[in-house]
Amino acid sequence: MAWIKRNLFFVIGGLVALGLLGAAGFYNYTSWSRNAEKQDKLKGIYDALTGITSDPKSSPGNAKVNKTQQAKDQEAQLLAWLDEARGYFQPIAPIPPSTPNNPVTGESFTAALGNTISTLQHEAVAANVVLPPDYAFSFKAESSLVQFAPGSLDLLAVQLGEVKTLSEILFAAGVNEYDGIQRVHVSDDDANGPQSDYLPDAPVDNQLAVITPYVVTFKGFGPEIARVFSGLAASPHGFLVESINVQSVAGVSGLGGGQAPSPYGVPGQAEMSAPVGKNGLVTVLKEQLLRVTMEIEIIKLHPKN
């Protein structure tokens, strides 16, 4: 104790130095641990990269095989296929047409809408297709307007062209009755129209194309339904039948959505019977009128870059 008292400052200094050495050692240890952890992570990344470059499935190739060039060649083939496919996905011209120098105006759309509705009504009469009274082909809300919601005219013009094209395919098929067509909302003015004119869906953009749904409802027999399919398939535009629901006008035929009608004795479409007529002839097949609800998607490829 006497020695400690005589050398108090030395003892205190030694204790402080020892504490500093301990702190330095702890710091070095924790730093070494962090460095070791980071080194392990770096080694893991390096090993992963080494594995990728050495994997024949993912490597860019070697002196004999240039997989980078193969990928470029495959991309070129895909783009060439898309160019060829564009012939089957030709865009439908909007009504009225729009150009940067001649944009759609309220006056031009009002005139085009009136002319298009009148044209379709006359075409239906010529094809012996029955329409709902005073039918506006889903444009009832816009048929009496001269001013339209901002930003909606170009979208309405596109829809008017598509509605006209689809309707004329049904007329050409000779359907018995055209019950109606439904489209998606594109304008605030659509809220003022019959909601039976519209779909709750919205167009889908998958970066390659815009897919817009429509639903058409009509009545006809088997041959007319077949001609509708044929007309859609022969069209240069990108029509895709997403689903179809078929019912007998007298009752449900048993066919659900997504099932196409069969021409071979489907219940509700045709009934086998053998009544004897006045002339002694036997009725072998009696076909029934069908009500068809068809969801059709229009696929519109983005312009080439």
pTM metric for this prediction? 0.66
- Residue length of the chain: 305
Mapped to the 3 state alphabet, what secondary structure does 95-146 carry? Answer: CCCCECCECCCHHHHHHHHHHHHHHHHHHHHHCCCECCCCCCCCCCCCCCCC
Residues 6+ apart with CB under 8 A from 136: 117, 143
- Residue 229 to residue 235: CA distance in whole angstroms: 10
173, amino acid identity: A
Q: Could you say which DSSP state residue 298 is in?
A: E
Residue 249 token pair: 């006008």
* Phi/psi of residue 157, nearest 5 degrees: -65, -40
Backbone angles phi and psi of 175, in degrees to 5: -60, 155
How many CB atoms are closer than 10 A to CB 157?
A: 22
- Please tell me the distance from the alpha carbon of residue 237 to that of residue 90, in angstroms, as a whole number: 5
Residue with tokens 């080694």, as numbered in its chain: 43
User: DSSP letter at 59?
Assistant: S
DSSP 197: G
Indicate if the alpha-carbon torsion angle 137, 143, 149, 153 is positive or negative: positive
160 Cβ neighbours under 8 A, 6+ residues apart: 94, 95, 109, 112, 113, 116, 139
Burial class for 189, CB neighbours closer than 10 Å (0-12, 13-18, 19+): middle
CATH 3.40.50.1480 is right for the domain spanning 87-301: no
Radius of gyration of the chain (CA): 37
CB 229 within 8 A of CB 296: no
The predicted pLDDT at position 128 comes to 96
Q: Measured between alpha carbons, how far is 174 from 64 in angstroms, rounded to an integer? A: 62
> Half-sphere exposure (CA, 13 Å, Cβ side) for 70?
10
For 300, the enclosing helix (H) or strand (E) is strand 290-301
Tens digit of pLDDT at every position of the chain (305 positions): 555 545 544 444 454 444 544 544 544 444 455 556 655 655 665 566 566 556 555 555 555 666 677 677 776 666 666 666 677 789 999 999 988 888 999 999 999 999 999 999 999 999 999 999 999 999 999 999 999 999 999 999 999 999 999 999 999 999 999 999 999 999 999 999 999 999 998 999 988 889 999 999 999 999 999 999 999 999 999 999 999 999 998 754 433 444 444 333 333 444 444 455 556 665 555 678 999 999 999 999 888 76
pLDDT score, position 254: 39
Cis bond before residue 96 (omega within 30° of 0): yes
The token duo for 295 is 């969801």
pLDDT for the residue numbered 157: 97
Distances in whole angstroms, Cα of residue 208 to Cα of each of 186, 213, 241, 303: 21, 16, 19, 9
**154, containing H or E segment:** helix 153-173
